[in-house]
Amino acid sequence: MSLAEQNQASPARLYKRVLLKISGEALMGDGQYGIDQTVCERIAQEVLDAVKAGTEMCLVIGGGNIFRGMQGAAKGMERASADYMGMLATVMNALAMQNAIEAIGGYARVLSAIPMVTVCEPYIRRRAIRHMEKGRIVIFAAGTGNPFFTTDTAAALRAAEMGCNALLKGTQVDGVYTADPKKDPNATRYETLSYHEVLARDLRVMDASAISLMRDNGIPIVVFSIHKRGGLADVLAGRGVCTTIAD
């Protein structure tokens, strides 16, 4: 069945093309560092299911499960060098996710902002769009290719460049709360927020630069739990538990 036929056969979709941003820590499972292959495979399956249902998917994965630039800099390492090391960690996670997707019959391409043609493709905007149009899952690696920018900002940048209908942020909890729900039992979840409210209340959903970039391009941010099985499909269908940030 062609991608066009899949689109016609699938139920109504809330978004045609989305970028999924997940942290490197999401791949750790119950471990303290590294990649839990079982978790990686589960996320890969959910992403592939979304593509089979007709949604064009691209991903940005952080590198905090391997190396975090800010922490390296805090320990005395020169910041730019620490950030480059963090970018390399995102490439490792991207390759792991690519392998997990292809192991279950999907097609994925890793595009790196730092050229490393022996390992993966260089980031070229039109090539990335063409991959998605062909039903391939595109995984953006190495952030923006520049130090001092986080993977949140990279995700917002790529979402804008790809013309995504939404930026989905898979987190440890099922939305944005008034306080940390793991620490405060009285914390309540927001159903919706405006970009301005997120910035004014300093809710730290994403970096201020990422929020501003999504506001300027009119791309909603949907925050949901990446750990809930089926959570991605629910959000794409508009029925999931989440917080939507938009105007």
C-alpha span between 213 and 156 (Å, rounded) = 6
Mean pLDDT of 84-100: 96
Taking each helix axis as running N to C, give the angle between helix 125-133 and helix 151-161, from 0 to 180 degrees, rounded to the nearest 10. 70
pLDDT in tens, 195-209: 999 999 999 899 999
Q: How many domains in the chain?
A: 1
pTM summary value: 0.90
pLDDT in tens, 94-139: 999 999 999 999 999 999 999 999 999 999 999 999 999 999 999 9
- Nearest to 240, CA basis, from 8, 21, 37, 15: 15
Q: Are β-strands 137-141 and 56-61 bridged in parallel, bridged antiparallel, or unpaired?
A: parallel
Mean pLDDT of 73-77: 77
Q: Which DSSP state fits 123?
A: P
The 3-state DSSP composition of the chain as helix, strand, coil percent (nearest 5) reads 40, 15, 45
Question: Containing domain of residue 24, as a range?
Answer: 3-245
CATH classification at residue 56: 3.40.1160.10
pLDDT in tens, 168-181: 999 989 999 998 88
